[in-house]
Structure 1
Amino acid sequence: MRKNLPVVGWRELVHLPELGLHALPAKIDTGARTSSLHATVIDEYERDGEQYVRFAVDFSEQQVRQVCEAVHVDWRGITSSNGKTQRRRIVKTPLKIGSVEFRAEISLADRSDMKFPMLIGRSSLRRRFVVDSGHSWLQTSGRKPVEGHIP
């Protein structure tokens, strides 16, 4: 194990700056390989020889819809927590957790029945963070770290 990696809790506020998404509540899930974002796909198109996807991220509590565009890099079979495999679009975009920013592969999925609009999987965490599942908000500025478990 490498020393001196930043520690994340089981939930953090994360940022997807190129998508215009900031302070997005995310569950840290080492059981999931790929990170996932709640999104509704609107359109697919090509620009300068690259495939793009336009999608909406809805924040129902605030009654806000953020329309985002990202390079569509792949289709993958993703096995969800219920054991079913879905074919999902994968986009690659900068992800910022605390002061660490990196390009992450993120699947677009219907997470409307989930508590968190984003899930951070182990591919994004590997060699960047250590997870302390007994705490929350360890990399979230402006939030006091909380000890405890999932409500």
Structure 2
Amino acid sequence: MVGLRAKIDTGASTSALHATEISEFKRNGERWVRFTAHLGTLVQRRHRCEAPLVARKIIKSSNGQAQTRYVVRTLLALGDHLWPVEFTLTCRKTMRYRLLLGSKALMDGKWLVDPARTYVQEKPQTLTSPGAP
């Protein structure tokens, strides 16, 4: 697991993850996407990923430009809470935060946002998968 600072954006419906080298492919007749996720805050870590393609979605940015993005689903850990979140894949290299959490992810996770506070959540404990050492 990699710690990653996220921008909470209740004005954005969809969550976004900084990704590059994005390509679609087929696996067993299903559509998948392969991409490099850029994780870490102070030290950048690149992680090559593959995930089933959930959808393609047209996203309008805050400056009004529309962009078609791939959508994947993965588990997100915030504190001791873990839930599935859909992320669009996009280049966020010019953004301060590599991960944006939109309102749908916050509602699905049953989170309440206090805009007057920052960094109120403890760092997550290391999670292990079943069968992992």
TM-score, normalising length: structure 2: 0.82
- Residue of structure 2 in register with 1:28 after alignment: 8
Tell me which of 49, 69, 75 is aligned to 2:56.
Answer: 75
Alpha-carbon deviation of 1:43?
A: 3.0
- Residue of structure 2 in register with 1:15 after alignment: none
CA distance in 1, matches of 2:70, 2:87: 8
Alpha-carbon deviation of 1:141?
A: 2.6
CA distance in 2, matches of 1:97, 1:41: 27
Residue 118 of structure 2 is aligned to residue 136 of structure 1:
yes
- Residue of structure 2 in register with 1:40 after alignment: 20
Q: Which runs of 5+ in 1 are unaligned?
A: 1-20, 143-151
CA distance in 2, matches of 1:42, 1:74: 14
Tell me which of 50, 60, 80 is aligned to 1:99.
Answer: 80
CA distance in 2, matches of 1:113, 1:130: 28
- Residue of structure 2 in register with 1:64 after alignment: 45
Deviations 1:76-113 (A, max 9, x none): 11011212111111111111211221111100011111
Question: Is contact 1:26–1:118 with CA below 8 Å preserved after alignment?
Answer: yes
Alpha-carbon deviation of 1:61?
A: 5.2
Question: Is contact 1:98–1:141 with CA below 8 Å preserved after alignment?
Answer: yes
Deviations 1:40-66 (A, max 9, x none): 134322223321111112359535321
CA RMSD of aligned residues (A): 1.9
CA distance in 2, matches of 1:126, 1:63: 29
Deviations 1:99-136 (A, max 9, x none): 22111110001111100000000000115100011222
Matched pairs, number: 122
SS in 2 for 1:135: coil
CA distance in 2, matches of 1:81, 1:107: 15
Pair 40,136 (structure 1): closer, same or farther in 2 beyond 3 Å: same
Question: Is contact 2:32–2:50 with CA below 8 Å preserved after alignment?
Answer: yes
TM-score, normalising length: structure 1: 0.73
Question: Is contact 2:3–2:123 with CA below 8 Å preserved after alignment?
Answer: no
- Residue of structure 2 in register with 1:149 after alignment: none
Tell me which of 74, 90, 93 is aligned to 1:112.
Answer: 93
Pair 95,28 (structure 1): closer, same or farther in 2 beyond 3 Å: same
